[in-house]
Amino acid sequence: MQSGSVVLVGPTASGKSDVAMFVARAHPNCEIVACDAMQVYRGMDIGTAKPTRADRAEVPHHCLDLVDPSERFTARDWQVAGSAAVSSIESRSGAPIVVAGTGLYLASLVDGLEFPGEWPDIRAELEREPDTAALYARLVQIDPDAAAQAEPTNRRRIVRALEVVVGSGRPFSASGPGTGAYPQTDATMIGLRWDRDALAARISARVREMVAGGLVDEVVRLRAAGALSRTASKALGYAEVITHLDGACSLDDAIAATVLHTRQFAVRQERWFRRDPRIRWIDVTDDPVREVAPFVLQALAR
């Protein structure tokens, strides 16, 4: 990424997208690149807080709606799409604003991560094990360094690490420089940081707005079309609504579970991003646009 590019990071519901839209309206050369593992799926709009059609008509957005939610999509796939988007914007003398909630995808773009090969047969065998805890225990045994970098409940990452270890015979943690390396970058990286209780309130409000905006109907429609892959069906909000639709809990319980799981996810996002010494953190107390946009505009003016 060239000088003049800006990366906005922060947990879900922190206001990254609002800041990016404000800046893009004020700076007509800006285009937005969405760095989000779930916004790549077509039709998963409400539950992923995808930019509205009106916003996308006003400001060019990239890396949205890349695949159907029934399709498999990897960090390497996003790296290709994200790099192409940034290069295209820069070739037109534009200024990319990368709005990043998915740390691995961002690292693939900014740091040029090298991804190991794939072994579909091994992955399929691992997926047949329903117990994620058992898979994690196996990873701890054969590649403790990779296990230390994965959440014990992050089934997708655990399966991928095991696939590489078994398929290549080499530790997954030995693949490239890894996400713990922070080489110099020409991009300006700005983080939105909220008080934990204030962010929790924003998350609760957002989830309730999603439900009021038709999240349940969106999940019903996607399920009826047979469109949800294992990964897509585990997305925040979607998994809890599916549990409700299957009769295992009330809608109120599904909403409460979504709020809780989203808060837990936000903590994991914060932990990932705060390791990166290149990020300049802005403490937000009330209005992310008013408090953060000036720093982004300043970076673009360099």
Shared domain check, 246 and 146: no
Shared domain check, 191 and 64: yes
More confident residue, 74 or 172: 74
Residue 179 lies in a domain: no
Q: Is the dihedral of CA 130, 133, 261, 45 positive or negative?
A: negative
Mean pLDDT of 112-129: 89
Residue 40 lies in a domain: yes
Shared domain check, 51 and 16: yes
Q: Give the number of domains in the chain.
A: 2
The answer to whether the beta carbons of residues 295 and 282 sit under 8 Å apart is yes
pTM (predicted TM-score):
0.86
Shared domain check, 64 and 25: yes
Instruction: Note the pLDDT of residue 175.
Output: 61
CATH number assigned to the domain comprising residue 127:
1.10.20.140
- When pLDDT is cut at 50, 70 and 90, the band that residue 60 belongs to is very high
Shared domain check, 205 and 92: yes
Shared domain check, 287 and 201: yes
List the one residue out of 58, 50, 22 whose CA is nearest residue 210.
Answer: 50
Helix (H) / strand (E) element for 203: namely helix 196-212
Instruction: Give the span between the Cα atoms of 143 and 92, in whole angstroms.
Output: 44
Residue 1 lies in a domain: no
Residue 220 lies in a domain: yes
Mean pLDDT of 262-284: 95
Domain encompassing residue 154: 120-174
Shared domain check, 23 and 163: no
Residue 108 lies in a domain: yes
List the one residue out of 300, 293, 295, 302 whose CA is nearest residue 18.
Answer: 293
Boundary of a domain, candidates 153, 174, 195? 174
Residue 181 lies in a domain: no
Shared domain check, 91 and 165: no
Residue 296 lies in a domain: yes
- When pLDDT is cut at 50, 70 and 90, the band that residue 181 belongs to is confident
Mean pLDDT of 108-137: 90
Shared domain check, 217 and 104: yes
Residue 45 lies in a domain: yes
CATH number assigned to the domain comprising residue 268:
3.40.50.300
Q: For a pLDDT cut of 70, what percent of the chain falls above it?
A: 96
